[in-house]
Amino acid sequence: MDFSFVKDYYMFFINGAKITILLAIFTIIFGVILGVLFALMRISRNPVLKGIAAVYIEFIRGTPIMVQLFIFYYGLSFVGITFPDISVLGSNLNDLMAGIVALSINSAAYVAEIVRAGIQAIDKGQMEAARSLGLNYTISMKTIILPQAIKNILPALGNEFIAIIKESSIVSIIGIHELMYSNSTVRGITFRPFEPLIITAMVYFAITFTLSTLVRAFERRLQTVD
Amino acid sequence: MIKVTDLHKNFGKLHVLKGIDLNIDKGEVVVIIGPSGSGKSTVLRCLNRLEEADKGQILFKDISVTDDKNDINVIRQDMGMVFQNFNLFPHMTVLENVTLAPTRLNMMKEKEAKDKGLKLLKRVGLGDKANNYPNQLSGGQKQRVAIARALAMSPDLMLFDEPTSALDPEMVGEVLEVMKQLAADGMTMVIVTHEMNFAKEVADRVLFIDDGIILEEAPPEELFNNPKNPRTKDFLRRVII
């Protein structure tokens, strides 16, 4: 094995990692916001909201992420949504947005199921007690149910965040210069198919391990509060 | 205070309440007894609309509880409820449990709510537990906090849904003692319970519910000593007093 290429091409991996992290941050933010929204729709008593959420979640979970990615890659411009033709860390903003949207929409379905399960695990007496005091549904949800549900949700949500980072490697196929794309670039330059993969895997692992450590630390902090 | 007319409730195909009529005056203490599955808890839960009635009318202080035009959240502010399983909020301290509703509903300033909360906790004998979390309390203590929490809204009516059923026997007394105090102070109360001695001592009126209807209602000494309905007799014979 020969890793001598690293000293010449390490910037590819660093820039790739930057894009991967950027993708993950936006996907986590949008995925969580959308996911909580769909979870609340799914448990609501309104049959229309409930139906929309159920169809969305089933459809996203039942189709390959690669298909979803291409749907958004071609679909966004097809329906006339375009972004300024500028470059972000070497990737076209239009491609990047398609990637973020596809990953967020995908992740939201999984987050929604995690959040729904976390909320439904809370004893229904909690909601009844809050409502019996005259608090409305929204306040009861915000002050009583969600703060308790967070503890059930967080471990599963941490796993989902890690899955996002790993699955973001798929957006290399639409030309986003993230970590997996950088791997291919370095392979093309060096004609070495194997060693760059080792580096790439190590960088992915460094990112996911950091994240899982952070999530665990946060969980511990929540535990000590009660 | 509360007037129920022809109340019906179904759970799927099960007809749980089959026409309940009930009047409760201000300051009255009404105890509901009956076999399990008779619908007594359901009556209570319909009163503050935790269960939706399928038919019939409930008036609370002349305002219809069952009418969608009236904001149920406002109606509930004057109706406290105490549950069998306490349902304290485990992520909040005892005092926060008590002050949550008054402060969230902007009825009191933080400081005022705290003062009142502490006063209420003292009243139920738990002034020293204000900063504890619910999981550090015994069952009896939890239920007394739940009573204080409901009282913090200064309700006109208190609903008790089997408040001592989940307690160890040695904890029952302390909760009943608080309830007796409350009754003596003139609170209007509707209590579903299996504590017959307590009913005898505190109730102004006892209702016997079986199979979704009120079979018999009378002052406690009459209902317990001289029941008229054969099913009431049968039930009381089986309950060890």
Q: What is the pLDDT of residues A203-216, one digit of tens each?
A: 999 999 999 999 99
pLDDT band, residue A220 (cuts 50/70/90)? confident
According to the model, what pLDDT value does residue A64 have?
96
Q: What is the pLDDT of residue B29?
A: 97
- What pLDDT was estimated at residue A84? 80
pLDDT of residue B35: 93
Read off the pTM: 0.84
- Half-sphere exposure of residue A117: CA atoms within 13 angstroms, side-chain side: 11
pLDDT of residue A182: 94
> Cβ–Cβ of B89/A134 closer than 8 Å?
no
Closest among B195, B129, B128, B187 to B159, alpha carbons compared: B187
Q: Judge: B101–A125 Cβ closer than 8 Å, yes or no.
A: no
Mutate to test the interface with B, among A122, A128, A132 (most CBs of B within 10 A): A132
pLDDT tens for each residue of chain B, 241 residues long: 999 999 999 999 999 999 999 999 999 999 999 998 899 999 999 999 999 999 999 999 999 999 999 999 999 999 999 999 999 999 999 999 999 999 999 999 999 999 999 999 999 999 999 999 999 999 999 999 999 999 999 999 999 999 999 999 999 999 999 999 999 999 999 999 999 999 999 999 999 999 999 999 999 999 999 999 999 999 999 886 5
Shortest alpha-carbon distance between residue A32 and chain B (Å): 23
Give the nearest partner residue to B74 out of A132, A134, A139, using CB atoms: A134
Return the residue of B nearest to A224 by Cα: B91
Per CB-CB distance under 8 Å, the chain A contacts of B87 are: 123, 125-126, 128-129
Total Cβ atoms within 10 A of residue B72: 18
Distance from CA of A85 to the nearest CA of B (A): 49
ipTM of the modeled complex: 0.93
Taking each helix axis from N to C end, the angle separating A179-190 and A6-43, rounded to the nearest 10 degrees, works out to 150
- B150 CB neighbours in chain A (<8 A) are 132-133
Interchain pair A126, B87: CB under 8 A: yes
CB contact under 8 A, B73 and A135: yes
Percent pLDDT > 90 in chain A is 81
- Asked if B83 and A129 come within 8 Å (Cβ–Cβ), the reply is yes
CB atoms A134 and B133 under 8 Å: no
pLDDT of residue A47: 96
For A133, the closest of B91, B101, B133 (CB atoms) is: B101
- Identify the weakest region by mean pLDDT among A87-91, A218-222, B55-59, B149-153: A87-91
Q: Which residues of A touch chain B, with CB atoms under 8 Å apart? A: 123, 125-126, 128-136, 139, 143-144, 147-148, 225-226
Q: What is the pLDDT of residues A6-21, one digit of tens each?
A: 899 999 999 999 999 9
Residue from A127, A133, A138, A223 to probe the interface with B (highest B Cβ count within 10 Å): A133
Record the tokens describing residue A140, joined without a space: 């009861």
A147-151: average pLDDT: 91
Integer Cα distance of A27 and B238 in angstroms: 63
Helix (H) or strand (E) holding A91: strand A91-92
Give the position of tokens 């007796």. B180
Specify the pLDDT at position B241.
Answer: 56
| pLDDT the model gives residue A82 | 83
Q: Do A148 and B91 touch (CB under 8 A)?
A: yes
User: Across the interface, which of B74, B100, B150 has its CB nearest the CB of A143?
Assistant: B100
Q: Is A129 in Cβ contact with B76 (below 8 Å)?
A: no
pLDDT band at A226, cuts 50/70/90?
A: low
Q: Which one, of B38, B35, B42, lies nearest residue B234 by Cα?
A: B35
Q: How many CA atoms lie within 13 A of A85 on its CB side?
A: 1
Beta strand B213-218 with B205-210 is antiparallel
Q: A138 to chain B, minimum CA–CA distance in Å?
A: 12
**B91: nearest CB among A130, A133, A147:** A147
Given this model, what pLDDT does residue B102 score?
A: 96
- Reduced to 3 states, what is the DSSP secondary structure of residue A34? helix
Record: contact B85-A133, CB cut-off 8 A: no
Q: Does pLDDT of A61 surpass 80?
A: yes
Check B50 against A132: CB less than 8 A apart.
Answer: yes
The partner residue sitting opposite A133, judged by closest CB among B76, B85, B135, is B76
Tell me how far apart the alpha carbons of residues A151 and A130 are, in angstroms, rounded to a whole number: 19
What pLDDT is stored for residue B234 in this prediction? 92
Q: What is the mean pLDDT of chain A?
A: 93
* Model pLDDT for residues A169-217, shown as the tens digit of each residue: 999 999 899 999 999 999 999 999 999 999 999 999 999 999 999 999 9
